[in-house]
Structure 1
Amino acid sequence: MSKSRTTNIRAQYDVAAAFKRDKNYVDTIKLYENVVKSEPLHLDAQHRLMVLYRKIKEPNKEIKIIKRAITAYRKRIKSDQHGWLKRNKEKADLTRELASSLGLLDTNGLALYQNETLFKWENRLLLLEQRLARSKLKKPTKKNS
């Protein structure tokens, strides 16, 4: 990533933080969205978007952000694992059988990986989806008079 792009992302992030302090949530969300669009794995911006959508009671938008963040993070993990496997083919070949017998590999032969951040996002997503499902069940249906 170029230095000017990194500087621009950082500037947008800083301005968004200032807007948030002033409780200007609409502009804050727009700026954090721009940061995430430019840098999908910007964890702070992802997290702050989730919190803001929770604060303004927009669970569907929070779900969308969480799903997007999980997808980006998983893609990065997979890419990192493939890169490591290419660079360390001999080590991978030597340890594959042991890792497989210990249940440490998925069906594609990649290491099972549980990141704390990913774990939290997945749990939050599950909780939100359950709440939305319950709230839809509780809403009374309109009866024709």
Structure 2
Amino acid sequence: MAKQAINSETLAQARQMEEEAELTDVARHYEGLYRQSPSDRRIISRLLVVLRRMKAYKKEMQVINSVIRNYKEGLVAKQKAWTKAHRHIARTSLSLARSLQLIDTKGIPVSQDRFILSLLKRRAVVEQRLTKGKNKLS
């Protein structure tokens, strides 16, 4: 399936739907948009907000983990492609980056995108909510 960009009009319609429809229908709609464009941060953010409002923490955790995994896979793929295209420069810059501790042992950059950092924080909160829910059931 080809991934496509979502225009702002579609997002505006989805936001209007948040006001008028049931949260489960809105979540399904955003999940469909997410499948169409999994890298669109606007859709991811709105989907997570709707799932948070529904208190669907397991689903929220799945989405967060999926986004983080896709980000890391994309980052590694880009880095491998660049390294392959620029072998001589890559050798020098990778050794420099390692010595400055800008990349880890696997060659993945240590500093991350703000959006990913916010997802990591949210994942910690969701994990607490899930464990709190398990403790209540026991």
TM range (shorter): 0.7 to 0.9
1:107 counterpart SS class? coil
In structure 2, what is the equivalent of residue 42 of structure 1? Answer: 40
For residue 12 of structure 1, report the CA deviation from its aligned partner.
4.4
Q: Percent identity?
A: 27
Which has the larger Rg? 1
Letter of the 1:18 counterpart: Q
Instruction: Call closer, same or farther: CA 1:12–1:24 in 2, change over 3 Å.
Output: farther
Query: CA shift at 1:140, angstroms?
Result: 5.7
- 1:103 equivalent in alignment to 2:98: no
Distance 1:30 1:109 in 2: 37
Question: Is 1:13–1:35's contact at 8 Å kept on the other side of the alignment?
Answer: no
TM-score normalised to structure 1 length? 0.79
Alignment of 1:52-67 (within 5 A): 52-67=50-65
- What secondary structure is seen at the aligned counterpart in 2 of 1:86? helix
Normalised to the residue count of structure 2, the TM-score between the two structures is 0.83
Count of residues in Structure 1 that have an aligned counterpart in Structure 2:
136
Question: Is the 1:105–1:112 contact (alpha carbons within 8 Å) kept by the matching residues of 2?
Answer: yes
* 1:1-145 matches, cutoff 5 A: 5-6=4-5, 9-10=6-7, 12-137=10-135, 139=136, 141=138
Greater RCO, CA 8 A, separation 6+: 2
Q: Which runs of 5+ in 1 are unaligned?
A: none
Cα 1:112–1:83 change in 2 (3 A) is: farther
